[in-house]
Structures are given as structure tokens and as C-alpha cells.
Amino acid sequence: MSKFMSKRHDELDAYVPGEQPQDKKYVKLNTNESPFPPSPFAQRLARQAAGTIELYCDPESGALVRIAAEKFGVAEDEIIFTNGSDEVLDFAFAAFCDDKTPAVFPDITYGFYPVFATRNGVPYREIPLKEDLTVNVEDYFGVKGTVFIANPNAPTGIALPAAEIEKIVKANPDNVVVVDEAYVDFGGESVLPLIKKYDNLLVTETFSKSRSLAGGRLGMGFANKALIADIKKIKYSFNPYNVNSMTAAAGIGALLDEEYFKANVATIIKTRENTVFALEKLGFTTLPSKANFIFAKHAKMSGKCVYSALKDKGVLVRYFDKDRLRDYVRITVGSAEDMRVLAETLADIIGEQK
């Protein structure tokens, strides 16, 4: 750090994203990307949009908003698009938390939440997950803070039913509840329709997983128009042009190509179930995942050991050096072929241990 860095950031422990190695080709199962390329229609629209990037993009992403409003059954002023869902989450910390209104989230969840809180200079409180790594919804009743809840949760993949999330929203009428649905398309239940019923609910979703646009950076937030206006106030104080023209065009293609989206999601769910079966045969225990990843642990090897052995053999997964998580690795559900390589490599590693 240079001597010029503001002391404001002394406490900031920057988020460490999953590796994006450039040294060699790995079977890459570490950042929950889709194994499928973007929809061909999305690619075509993005290429077309590339021809006009001498102009600033539409700061409201109007065309995308109109299509999304129709698709998701909400009004146009109940949506905001952002540069990945990380950005709408960050805006929510900025908009809805302060010294008197801390952020509240589980102790095991998306690792960016504490970073967003610290960078925005707002306090946060972590509520421990239960022994079985599930959320106890009652712990979030009347917490006097802005609740952030990932559903399905990360990195466990465990989902709560929509009715359970609704209880949290209902029990915090004076605070915003942010439901991060980055992985909801893989078997979770969305609470998006509830934005019509509750004025304190913000739902965030991403195009990075089920819609194959991780590198395009496109996220969305849904809430009643007053909350969306609050978030826009933050956006317009930071970067009006946060969604570039090519990404917005790709987003339109991804939304309109519903068939491609549905087929990919169905394939990933099927591959996930097959992989769980293969992992269990190899002596792993897995948590019940409704996401595009599997959180798995082996009786005889730590998470770090599984991660390192796999990396040596060209397969990249993720492990977390944190209490209660150290035994596990998080494995993204890739293509059926990726998962065949994973299972074979794990079988080799287990064989070498004996």
C-alpha cells in the first residue's frame, strides 16, 4: 500500500475472486460460470451493438428494461440493471445501510458482503448458520438492520423455500431485506413476485450463471419503484453508464432466447444430480444443492488437499480457508465431459492416497 492510500480503507480486506488462470488450460470448475457459450442470438446482438460503441450507452438500458419487465411481470420502474449483480448489491449496501442500520447476513454466505459493507463504511453483523449449515429464519426476525440473504446460499448451495424467505421480509417491515438470487434458476424458488406485496424487498439476480454472460457483467435488481429510485440515486452518483451497449444487447438476446436458457438449466441440473451420485460413490458427502455448484467433503482429505491435488492434475475447484468450511471444496457443475474428467481425476487421487 502506498503512503497516499486513505486511512479510511485500513480495515478493507478486498474480495479475492476465484482464480482465472492464464498459464494453462484447466477444467475450470471454480467460479460457477456456465459451461455453455452465450445464446447465439445474444452473441449476434452484442456483435451488432459493437458497431455503435462510439456513442455512450443508454444509461437506463431502456430496451432491456422493457423486455425484462414483460418477461418477469413487473413494471419498468421496478427494475434496475447493473454491471453484474455485485454492483446492485454494492449499491444496496450504500443505499440502505448506515451506522444505525447495520447490514445483517449469515456468517457463511457470499464472501463479498463483508467487503461491500466495509468499503461503504457501514457496520455489519453476522448470524451463525445452524450446525447443518442451514439458515434459521427466526434469527432474522426484527433484526433492526438491512438483511442480505443469498438464496440458494453460497457456498453451500442450500435453498430456503420462498415461504420461509417471506417470513423474514414480513418480520422486518422497517428495514430492507435483500434476497440475492444469483443461483435461483437451478432449482430454487424466487420471491420476485413478492415485490408487489412488500415495500421492503429487493431481489437481485444475475446473467452470469444460468444465462452464460459472466464476462459481459449483467445483473438486475427488482423492487418497488421507491427502492429502485434509491438505488438509481447511488448509480447516478457513481457511473450512469454502468451497463455497456454490447452487454445490454447480449442481455436482450439472452432473455429472448428462453428455449436455450431452459435447455441449459435443465442440463446443468441433470449433470449436478449425476455428479452428486458419482461423488458419493467416491466417498464424498455433499450438501443438498439447488445451485450450479456442489459443496462436497471427503472423509479422509481436507478441502485444501482435494483442491491442490485436483489443481496439479489440471482441474480447478474452490476451497475456503474458514472455520466450518475447511473440509469442503466447492465444485461448479460444468459440462458432462468436465464432470467425467473430475470424477476420474478424483478416483486417481483417492487411489494414490491408499
Write out the residues near ligand PMP by the rule CB under 6 A: 84-86, 110, 150, 154, 180, 182, 206, 208, 214, 219
* Residue closer to ligand PMP (CB basis): 143 or 214: 214
- Beta carbon of residue 195, minimum distance to ligand PMP (angstroms, whole number): 18
* Residue closer to ligand PMP (CB basis): 205 or 230: 205
* Residue closer to ligand PMP (CB basis): 195 or 243: 243
Q: How many CA atoms lie within 13 A of 165 on its CB side?
A: 31
Report the C-alpha gap between 248 and 82 in whole angstroms. 10
Report the C-alpha gap between 310 and 339 in whole angstroms. 13
- Beta carbon of residue 307, minimum distance to ligand PMP (angstroms, whole number): 18
* Residue closer to ligand PMP (CB basis): 219 or 253: 219
* Residue closer to ligand PMP (CB basis): 45 or 150: 150
- Beta carbon of residue 204, minimum distance to ligand PMP (angstroms, whole number): 7
* Residue closer to ligand PMP (CB basis): 18 or 278: 18
- Beta carbon of residue 191, minimum distance to ligand PMP (angstroms, whole number): 15
- Secondary structure element (H or E) that encloses residue 282, with its range: none
Report the C-alpha gap between 26 and 22 in whole angstroms. 9
- Beta carbon of residue 350, minimum distance to ligand PMP (angstroms, whole number): 28
- Beta carbon of residue 48, minimum distance to ligand PMP (angstroms, whole number): 24
* Residue closer to ligand PMP (CB basis): 291 or 306: 291
- Secondary structure element (H or E) that encloses residue 332, with its range: strand 328-332
Question: How far is CA 323 from each of CA 47, 72, 83, 88, 113, rounded to the nearest angstrom?
Answer: 45, 39, 31, 28, 17
Question: Between β-strands 103-106 and 146-150, what pairing exists: parallel, antiparallel or unpaired?
Answer: parallel
* Residue closer to ligand PMP (CB basis): 184 or 349: 184
Q: What angle do CA 31, 34, 35 make, to 5 degrees?
A: 105
- Beta carbon of residue 146, minimum distance to ligand PMP (angstroms, whole number): 16
Rounded CA Rg of the chain: 20
- Secondary structure element (H or E) that encloses residue 78, with its range: none
**Cβ-closest position to ligand PMP:** 84
Q: Which three cell numbers stand for residue 14?
A: 478486498
Report the C-alpha gap between 178 and 150 in whole angstroms. 8
**Angle, helix 40-50 to helix 245-256, in steps of 10 degrees:** 160
- Beta carbon of residue 258, minimum distance to ligand PMP (angstroms, whole number): 20
Q: By C-alpha distance, which of 325, 296, 290, 289 is closest to 310?
A: 296
The torsion angle over the Cα atoms of residues 327, 330, 331 and 333, rounded to 10 degrees, is: 140
